[in-house]
Copies of this chain bind each other. A is one copy, B any other.
């Protein structure tokens, strides 16, 4: 309700008539039937972005990894588990959306295979070979009819350097970056973002994820409009 109110205050209906695909949450990569690799994403930022986009008038599809959150009221909610699941769910939908906002903390490495039975703890040491997963953001941005593509970056150092490199390397339209580690961002209710696009940047200062999501949606609508006007 807070998001709706704030987003409404800033730019009523700034995404009216547009469709927005949001990915959110962590993914889980199975090691065996019980063990998995994951990360500290709570999904809160992504769910807040999906809510803010819906409040701004967009038709929203949310593809989400496992979280403890209740699904928001969006046009379509797709629950996935692994990075491979998320890749398929996003790629099946990306070209039919105007904007893709990849907030998910997709596992970038996954075990090369998952054991069918529970691995017994016999050896004192165990070596796990991980393979890089497919890059969903880059794959969306490489589509012939690509949506306006927004990536997220969570970094522990050199925020701008990594964000600008990601923007260029993956051919993204925007990167929203934030610091992680030492209680910052992941699993927290507050966050701050440094947003970069080709030729520009804006700081969205610390606020609740709901308020911040509204400001990010405003900025995306503004930049999407500027691009469309070129």
A105 near B34: Cβ-Cβ < 8 Å: yes
Tell me the A120-138 residues at the B interface (CB within 8 Å).
121, 123-132
C-alpha gap A182/B40 in the complex (Å): 25
A91 at the interface (CB under 8 A from B): no
A76 at the interface (CB under 8 A from B): no
Query: A34: which of B109, B112, B131, B154 is its contact (CB, 8 Å)?
Result: B154
CB distance from A129 to the nearest CB of B (A): 6
Of all chain B residues, the one with the shortest Cβ separation from A69 is: B68
CB distance from A114 to the nearest CB of B (A): 11
A35 at the interface (CB under 8 A from B): yes
A127 near B124: Cβ-Cβ < 8 Å: no
B34 near A186: Cβ-Cβ < 8 Å: yes
0/1 interface trace, chain A 52-92, chain B, CB 8 Å (1 if under): 00000000000000001000000000000000000000000
Of all chain B residues, the one with the shortest Cβ separation from A30 is: B40
A121 surroundings in chain B (CB, below 8 A): 108-109, 132
A144 at the interface (CB under 8 A from B): no
B118 near A125: Cβ-Cβ < 8 Å: no
C-alpha gap A105/B180 in the complex (Å): 27
Of all chain B residues, the one with the shortest Cβ separation from A116 is: B156
B130 near A128: Cβ-Cβ < 8 Å: yes
A126 near B118: Cβ-Cβ < 8 Å: no
Q: Which residues of A contact B (CB under 8 A)?
A: 31, 33-41, 68, 105, 107-109, 112, 116-118, 121, 123-132, 154-157, 180-182, 186
A31-B37, A126-B129 given; 17 more Cβ-contact pairs under 8 Å = A33-B156, A34-B180, A34-B186, A35-B37, A35-B40, A36-B37, A36-B38, A109-B126, A116-B156, A118-B181, A121-B132, A125-B131, A125-B132, A126-B130, A127-B130, A128-B129, A128-B130
